[in-house]
Structure 1
Amino acid sequence: MIQRRALANGAQLVRASTKATQTTRFSPFDSPFLQSISQEPPPSPWTTQQVDEARHLLRAILRECTYLPDPLARDYIRLYALSSFRKYQGKEKPTRILVERRDEKIKQARKSLLQLRGANAGEESQLMKVLFLTYGRTGRRKKELTAPLITPNATQAADGQNNSQETAETGETAARDEERLASSKAKNHGHADPLSDVLKALLRSQARAQPPEIVRKNPNPHAVALKIPEMNSWGRPMPLKRVANMTRKWYAQMLGHVLPPLPEEEWEVLKARSLGKISFEGVIPRRARARTTADSVPPRKSTALLQALSIKSDYRPPPLLDAASGSRLTPRTMRRCWAKVFAQTPNMTWNSETGHWDIEWGVTILKQHEIERSAASQGST
C-alpha cells in the first residue's frame, strides 16, 4: 500500500514537471543577446556639436590631402587621417577614455588641419613634417619600417635570459647564493645582445655616413656594442636587475637613433625627385567653393552689410595664403625638400658573395652628385 502511494505521488510530480516545461518553453526572444539589442543604446560620449565638428574637420583634412604636392603623401596622409579618426568611434576605446581624450583629439585635429594648409601654402617647416611622416622618418611608418629589422624576441631581450634565470632560481634555497653570484658574474660578460645583425649593420653604417640630424641623432659608433661593467661601484658583481635595466635603456636608445630603409621602389623614386630627374608636376589648382545662401545675396546688399559689420567691429580677418598660385612651391623648393628626406634614407641589399649588407645612403649620393656637378661646371668654363 505504501509503495502504491509513493508511485502515485511520483507520477504526479512527473506530470507537473512536464506541464511546467511545456508552459515555460524557451523563446528565442528571451535571449540576453536580443534583449541587449532591444534595449536603447548607451548614450554617446560625444555631443552633437562635437560630432559635427569632428565630421567637418575630417572632411577638411581629406580635402587638404588632395592638394599636397607629393603624390605619395596624398595617399598616405589620407589613410593616416582616416585610421586616426576611426580609432575614436567608441568601438575600440572605453567610454571613460573617450570622454577624457575627446577635447584633446579635436584640438589635435584642428592643429593637423592647419599644418596641412600651411604645407599646401608652401610653408617649408610644415611641408617637411608631412614628408617625414610619409617616408617613415618619423611617426607611425617609422615603426612599421623598423619592425622587420627587429628579431621576434628582441622586445624581450632587454630582460634577456636574466629574467628566465631569475625565474629558474626562485625555487632554489639560500644555500646556493655562491652559485647565483657566479652565474650573474658570467652573465655580465655573456649576456644576450638584443640587436639583430641587420640592425647592427644599419646603425654602424649610419654612424659612418653621418646623415643630417634633422629628426634623429646619429649613434655613436662605439656605443653600438653593449658594454656592461663586471663590477658595480661597491666592487660587487653587477646585480641581474641592474643588467636588465642597463640593457633596456641602451636598446631603447639604439632604436631611437635608427633610420629604417625604404622599399626599393620608393627609394628610387625619391632619389630621382631629389636629383631633379623627375620634375615637379606643379601645384594642384584648388576647386571652386560650393555656393551658399550668402552667395545669392545681391552684391550691393552684401557689400553694404560687410561695411556695416566692419564699422561696428574692430576685428579684421587675417590675409589668406596664396596657395592656388603656387608661387612659393616651386620645382626648386620641392627638390630641396625631397633632398632633405632622401639624405636621411638608406637602401639595404644583401650581398651573397661577401655575406654582408650593402647599405647606400642618400647623403652620400647627394654629395657625389654635387661634386660631379661642380666639376662639370668648372670644365665647361
Structure 2
Amino acid sequence: MSRPPPLPHPTTTLHLYRHLLRESSYLPVLIRPFFDERITTRFRAHRSDPSPSSCPQTASRLKRAHHDLRYLRAANAGDLPRMRRILLLAFGRTGAKRRQLLSELLEPDTPTSDEELQKYINKARAIVKEGRKPDWLDNWDTEKLKAFVRSQTGGAPPIVNRPKPEITNHQLAPERYVPKEDIWGGPLNEKVQRTKLKKTYKQVADKVLPPVPREEWELLRDLVNKKEEWEVPKRRTVGRTIWAKDQKDEALDWNWQRYATQPIWLVDRQKSRRNMLLSGQVEEDLPMGEQQPINCHRYTPRLWRRTLEQVWRMTAVMERKKDGKGWEIEWGQKKYEPPVAPSADLEFFAGAPVRTEPKKKKGKQ
C-alpha cells in the first residue's frame, strides 16, 4: 500500500475516538489489545473534560490524539520505522509499559523464608545505624537489578538500533565507584555519597530493558520461529455517502487562495514524498507519474519475522531459581542453521570436497 486512504478529517472528539479505534484494528493481532485498551482508557478518563476552547489541556490532548492518528495511519500504510516504534511501545521497550515493567523489576520480593526475612530486618537496622531516613533507593531490590544489568551487558545478544544507550562498566557496581574522598583528600560527606549513589542507580534504571512476562516472550519466540502464523487484516473499503460530490465538483473546490497568499513549498508540504504517508495526499498530474513515499515498505511474512526478531532480541524473562539463590535470565536469540540443499539441487554439489575438522598437533614429549 503506497499511502493511507483519503478518510475525512475528524471534526469532533467522538469522531477522532472512532478513527483511532479503526486504525488500531489494522495493527498486528499480538499488539492490538494493548493499544485498544490504551485508547479507550484515555478517552473515558477525559470524556468529562471541558471544551478545548476553555481548557488548554484538552486542546493539547486533542492535538496529541490527531498526531497519534496520523502516526498509526502511516505505520499501517508501510512506514516501517514508525511500525517498529509501535512494536517497542507494545512490548515495553520504551514508553509507559516499560516504566510499569521496570517498577515490577525494582519491587522487592515478598520474603518466603526466615533467611530472607532476616535480611530485611538487617537492612532496616543498618539504615537506623547510619542515622539517616529511608529514601526511595531503600525500596529498590538493588541485588535483583544488578543481576539483570549484568545479564543485559554480558548475556544479551547484539542489538541493532537499541532504544536505550548501553550500560557502562562502572554502572555495573555503583557502590564501588562512589568516591570516598573529596577533592582535598578528606572524607566525603555521607549525604553526598548517598546522593551520588542514587544518581548512578537512576542512570542505570534509565538504560535497563526490563523483563517481560513469559507468555509474551514465548509468543514472540513462536512467531519468529514460524511456530505461530498470523495475518494483518486487510483494510476495509472506505464508505461513500449517496451525496458524495463528483470528480468535476471536487476539481472546482481547488483552494487557489492558499497558493496566492502562501509560499508554494508550504502549501505542497503535505504532498512531499517524506510526508505522504502522514497526510495521505498525493501530487497528481505529474509527468513522471505518481511518486512513491519515502520509507514505504510492503509488509510480508518475512519482513514481519525479521522485525519481530529485532524486538525479541531486546526482551528477556527473569525467574528465581528453584533453590531460591539467584535468578535465571533468558534473552531472545534465534539459532541460525545453514539451509539444506533440496534434492533438485544436489547435482550441483556432486564431487564437492567434504569439510573435515583439522587435526590437532600433538605436543612434544
Tell me if both proteins adopt one fold, taking TM over 0.5 as the criterion: yes
Give how far 1:206 is off. 0.3
Matched, 1:250 2:203: no
TM-score by length of 1: 0.64
Q: Partners of 2:155 and 2:310 in 1: how far apart? A: 15
Structure having greater relative contact order (Cα 8 Å, sep ≥ 6): 2
Give how far 1:245 is off. 1.9
Q: Partners of 1:225 and 1:129 in 2: how far apart? A: 31
Counterpart for residue 199 of structure 1:
145
Q: Partners of 1:271 and 1:339 in 2: how far apart? A: 8
1:320-358 residue CA offsets vs partner (Å, 9 max, x unmatched): 999xxx971111111111011101001223332583322
**Partner of 1:265: helix, strand, or coil?**
helix
Counterpart for residue 55 of structure 1:
14
Note if contact 2:80-2:297 (Cα within 8 Å) is conserved in structure 1: no
**Partner of 1:373: helix, strand, or coil?**
coil
Identity %: 28
Q: Partners of 2:323 and 2:26 in 1: how far apart? A: 46
Counterpart for residue 226 of structure 2:
276
Matched, 1:336 2:306: yes
**Partner of 1:285: helix, strand, or coil?**
coil
Give how far 1:164 is off. 7.6
Q: Partners of 1:84 and 1:218 in 2: how far apart? A: 33
Q: Partners of 1:61 and 1:357 in 2: how far apart? A: 41
1:208-262 residue CA offsets vs partner (Å, 9 max, x unmatched): 0344152112322442212312111122221233123212211111111111112
Q: Partners of 1:109 and 1:164 in 2: how far apart? A: 50
Q: Partners of 1:356 and 1:377 in 2: how far apart? A: 44
Q: Partners of 1:52 and 1:343 in 2: how far apart? A: 41
Within-5 A mapping of 1:213-224? 213-224=161-172
Q: Partners of 2:255 and 2:187 in 1: how far apart? A: 80
Counterpart for residue 37 of structure 2:
79
**Partner of 2:55: helix, strand, or coil?**
helix
Give the RMSD, CA atoms, in angstroms. Answer: 3.8
1:58-81 residue CA offsets vs partner (Å, 9 max, x unmatched): 21111100011x212111011112
Counterpart for residue 262 of structure 1:
212
User: Residues 244 and 294 (structure 1 numbering): CA distance in 2 closer, same or farther, change over 3 Å?
Assistant: farther
Give how far 1:95 is off. 10
Q: Partners of 1:83 and 1:138 in 2: how far apart? A: 19
Q: Which deviates more, 75-84 or 128-137?
A: 75-84
> Which amino acid in structure 2 is aligned with residue 124 of structure 1?
L
Note if contact 2:108-2:140 (Cα within 8 Å) is conserved in structure 1: no
Counterpart for residue 356 of structure 1:
326
Note if contact 1:280-1:334 (Cα within 8 Å) is conserved in structure 2: no
Note if contact 1:195-1:251 (Cα within 8 Å) is conserved in structure 2: no
Give how far 1:200 is off. 1.6
Q: Structure 2: which 5+ runs fail to align?
A: 1-9, 110-122, 260-266, 272-280, 284-290, 350-365
Q: Partners of 1:141 and 1:224 in 2: how far apart? A: 24
**Partner of 2:30: helix, strand, or coil?**
helix
**Higher Cα radius of gyration:** 1
Note if contact 1:65-1:77 (Cα within 8 Å) is conserved in structure 2: yes
Q: Partners of 2:323 and 2:221 in 1: how far apart? A: 26
**Partner of 1:294: helix, strand, or coil?**
coil
Q: Partners of 1:310 and 1:209 in 2: how far apart? A: 60
**Partner of 2:317: helix, strand, or coil?**
strand
**Partner of 2:131: helix, strand, or coil?**
helix
User: Residues 166 and 358 (structure 1 numbering): CA distance in 2 closer, same or farther, change over 3 Å?
Assistant: closer
Within-5 A mapping of 1:271-310? 271-281=221-231, 283-295=232-244, 302-310=246-254
Larger helix share, 1 or 2? 1
1:271-293 residue CA offsets vs partner (Å, 9 max, x unmatched): 11122332342x31222333325
Note if contact 1:343-1:361 (Cα within 8 Å) is conserved in structure 2: yes
User: Residues 327 and 253 (structure 1 numbering): CA distance in 2 closer, same or farther, change over 3 Å?
Assistant: closer
Give how far 1:132 is off. 0.7
Note if contact 1:206-1:218 (Cα within 8 Å) is conserved in structure 2: no
1:141-196 residue CA offsets vs partner (Å, 9 max, x unmatched): 1122122221359xxx9xx949982469xxxxxxxxxxxxxxxxxxxxxx979543
Q: Structure 1: which 5+ runs fail to align?
A: 1-50, 169-190
> Which amino acid in structure 2 is aligned with residue 224 of structure 1?
L
Give how far 1:377 is off. 5.9
Number of residues of Structure 1 aligned to a counterpart in Structure 2: 286
> Which amino acid in structure 2 is aligned with residue 81 of structure 1?
I
